[in-house]
Amino acid sequence: MRKNEIKTTRTIEEVVRVEYIAEDGVVFYDEAEAKKYEESALFAVSNKLNRLTNKWTSICNLNEDGSDDCELEIFDVQTGEDLDNLRRYLYLKATKNGASEKSIKECFTSVDETRKDFVFDNVTAGHEVLIFWGYDNDWFWTYKDGSLEGYFSCLRDRYTKIITPKEEI
């Protein structure tokens, strides 16, 4: 009788350490500490923003046909620094409410151009900025440059598209 040993080579990937990296790059080894830090960062950056809405406001306060479940926040964004603070605030708030990195990226950038009029990358400084939040506050959008005029312009474009007759072929 002969003995045959069958061998296989396996690559074992093992987690040796888990790091939690805050939005600003600070590394934590404890999830609770990282969350606590992110929440305090959210608080700190939130206090730097000039809010034009003082209490929870729903979209139906702006448009009676809007959802009562979705939040509307309005900020006075006059400088590039204000814009950077708002960008950081949106990221931290969405993250705190469970948004994935992919979902957050889609709020800031229209990858395939289908949402190009509704992403934060279009927002400019020098005016009020309206931020609309989905039901769970893990998704946000804006209209065109974020201003009230941008919101009205987007509505005007939609209404025009609906009522303008198409030429028959």
Q: Is the CB of residue 61 less than 8 Å from the CB of residue 71?
A: no
- Calculate mean pLDDT across residues 5-25: 83
What is the DSSP secondary-structure string of 137-164?
SS-EE--TTSSHHHHHHHHHHHHHHHHS
**Rounded mean pLDDT, 26-37:** 86
Q: What is the share, in percent, of the chain residues with pLDDT greater than 90?
A: 47
User: pLDDT tens across 55-107, in order?
Assistant: 777 665 666 665 567 888 999 999 999 999 999 999 999 998 999 999 999 99
CA angle (85, 92, 117) in 5-degree steps? 70
Predicted pLDDT of residue 121: 94
pLDDT of 58: 67
- pLDDT, tens digit, 9 for 90 and up, residues 145-157: 999 999 999 989 9
Residue 157 in contact with residue 111, Cβ under 8 Å? no
Q: Is 125 left (phi over 0), alpha (psi -120 to 50) or beta?
A: beta
What is the rounded average pLDDT of the residues 23-39? 83
Cβ atoms < 10 Å from Cβ of 131: 21
- Which residues make beta-bridge pairs with 129? 75
pLDDT at 105: 94
Task: Report the pLDDT value the prediction gives residue 132, as an integer from 0 to 100.
Answer: 92
